[in-house]
C-alpha cells in the first residue's frame, strides 16, 4: 500500500486525472481506483460523518441506483475516514450494496473534501459530502464538492454515463479484431 496522500496545490477540476487510492473496503479487499477504472466508470462519494441523516440518505440512494449504474458500466464507491468496523456496521444496518472504503491516509483532502474551520461553538464539523465521477481513463468527468443531495445529482450522472463509450472503445483495433476472431472461430 502507498503511504499518506499528497494534497494537490490547486482544487481538482473536470478533466484532471483523478488521484489514485488503495483503500481497505467493507468487502475485505483493498480497492485501487486505477484497477477499477479500465473496466468501469466510478462514482465516488466522500463523506465524514456516517451518523448524519443526510449521509445515510445519500448512501441509500447510491445503493438503490446500483442496477442503473451497472447498465451504464459504472460502479459506486463510498469513502470515509471512519474505522472499517464502523463502516461494516453502517453497511449492514442500511443494507447497502456498494463498498465502503476506509480512508486512513487522507484521500478526502486530496479530493478537496476538507472540514470547515469550525462551528459557532468552536468545534470541528465534519466535511460536507462530495461526489465525483471518474471515467475509464481515470479523468474527472463531473464533480460536486460539496454535493447538495445525491438523489438530485443522479439524473445528471446517468446522462453523463450514458454518453461514455464502451470499455472496449479504447482498445486498439488489432486487439479487438483478435478477440472477435477468437470468439467467432472457436
141: closest CA among 126, 124, 129, 153?
153
pLDDT value for 182 = 74
What is the mean pLDDT for each group of 10 consecutive residues in the chain (186 residues)?
A: 60 94 96 92 96 96 97 96 96 97 92 61 68 96 94 96 78 68 70
pLDDT score for 136: 92
- pLDDT at position 186, please? 65
Any idea which fold 22-184 has? Glutaredoxin (3.40.30)
For the chain, domain boundaries: 22-184
User: Pick from 150, 176, 178, 183: which is nearest to 59 by CA?
Assistant: 150
pTM of the full predicted structure?
0.84
Chain position carrying cell 440512494: 61
Residue with cell string 465521477? 133
What is the sign of the dihedral through the CA atoms of 56, 52, 116 and 3?
Answer: negative
DSSP category for residue 8: -
What the block records as the C-alpha cell of 124 is 470541528
What's the rounded Cα separation, in Å, for the pair 180 and 185? Answer: 8
Amino acid at each position: 500500500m502507498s503511504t499518506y496522500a499528497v494534497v494537490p496545490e490547486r482544487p481538482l477540476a473536470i478533466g484532471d486525472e483523478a488521484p489514485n487510492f488503495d483503500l481497505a473496503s467493507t468487502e475485505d479487499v483493498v480497492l485501487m481506483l486505477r484497477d477499477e477504472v479500465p473496466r468501469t466508470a466510478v462514482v465516488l462519494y466522500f463523506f465524514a460523518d456516517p451518523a448524519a441523516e443526510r449521509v445515510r440518505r445519500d448512501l441509500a440512494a447510491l445503493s438503490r441506483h446500483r442496477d442503473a449504474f451497472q447498465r451504464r458500466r459504472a460502479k459506486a464507491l463510498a469513502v470515509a475516514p471512519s474505522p472499517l468496523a464502523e463502516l461494516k456496521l453502517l453497511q449492514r444496518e442500511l443494507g447497502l450494496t456498494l463498498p465502503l472504503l476506509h480512508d486512513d491516509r487522507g484521500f478526502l483532502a486530496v479530493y478537496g473534501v476538507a472540514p470547515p474551520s469550525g462551528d459557532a461553538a468552536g468545534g470541528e464539523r465534519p466535511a460536507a459530502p462530495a461526489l465525483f465521477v471518474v471515467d475509464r481513463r481515470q479523468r474527472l468527468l463531473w464533480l460536486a464538492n460539496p454535493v447538495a443531495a445525491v438523489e438530485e445529482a443522479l439524473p445528471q450522472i446517468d446522462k453523463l454515463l450514458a454518453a461514455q463509450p464502451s470499455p472496449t472503445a479504447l482498445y486498439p483495433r488489432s486487439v479487438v479484431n483478435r478477440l472477435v476472431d477468437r470468439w467467432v472461430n472457436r
